[in-house]
Amino acid sequence: MPPTKPRIQVTLDSELAAALAEFGGEEPRSRSVRDLALRGAEAMRAARVAEHEAREHLLLIAAGEDDRYDFAVSEQLHASR
């Protein structure tokens, strides 16, 4: 019976082989590749969110809307170097 979902081919290069050796466990290799891909996507998603939050925070500081950041103190610290 043919598979119901499309499949992809992935070349087992040295980097992927190392990742599978380190994180693949005893699962079948195809399952391990799937797990690594999903965890990688989750990590990339989290990095995107963190980047967005950092950018928003910097914009708040630049606009003077973050009262936790005092430009006068920063100026004094840089002047004392």
Structural domain spans, the chain: 14-79
- Residue 38: which pLDDT band, with cuts at 50, 70 and 90? very high
Summarize pLDDT for 40-57 with one digit per residue, the tens. Answer: 999 999 999 999 999 999
What average pLDDT does range 65-72 have in this prediction?
Answer: 81
- Residue 29: which pLDDT band, with cuts at 50, 70 and 90? very high
What tokens appear for 43 in the block?
Answer: 């990590």
pLDDT at 64 over 90: no
Contact 36, 19 (CB under 8 A): yes
pTM of the model: 0.71
Cα–Cα distance, 45 to 74 (Å, whole number): 33
DSSP state of 15: H
Cα–Cα distance, 76 to 81 (Å, whole number): 9
